[in-house]
Amino acid sequence: MSPPIWVDHNDPTPRLDASETQADLARNGIVLADGLRLLLYDDDAEDGKVDDLLAIGIVRFDGGLGRWVADISRDFADGAYVHFSGVDAATQVRWLRHRPENGQPYA
């Protein structure tokens, strides 16, 4: 799985050309290619506690839009984003340890 890549979760098919997304991709040396699986996230919190939105995205080039996008996989929550609070404990521990803001590589 890729390191966490920020996307705007309000976009049903997230575009991968937003500046923050591009910065995450470049920082992690990721070159986009059709079929690449990315761990996508968007910052979120509830009462000051981390509750990020997580999803698996499958990369594809959208010729109609002329840009790279990610189709949300059904790996989490039947094709939608899932809140951090909704994943199992092991995934929560891993996410908190490797959350981009904590500066540790995601492995």
* pLDDT value for 53: 83
Task: Classify residue 107: in a domain, yes or no.
Answer: no
How many domains, in total, are found in the chain?
1
101-105's contacts with Cβ under 8 Å and 24+ in sequence apart are 105/3
Q: Tell me: the pLDDT tens digits for 28-58?
A: 899 999 999 998 888 887 777 777 888 888 9
The residue segments making up the domain with residue 25 are: 4-102
* Whether 8 contacts 18, CB under 8 Å: yes
pTM above 0.85, yes or no: no
Task: Classify residue 74: in a domain, yes or no.
Answer: yes
Q: Tell me: the pLDDT tens digits for 57-96?
A: 899 999 999 999 999 876 655 556 777 777 778 777 777 7
Q: Tell me: the pLDDT tens digits for 2-34?
A: 788 999 988 878 999 999 999 989 988 999 999
59-67's contacts with Cβ under 8 Å and 24+ in sequence apart are 59/16, 59/32, 59/33, 59/34, 59/35, 60/34, 60/35, 61/32, 61/34, 62/13, 65/15, 67/15, 67/16, 67/17
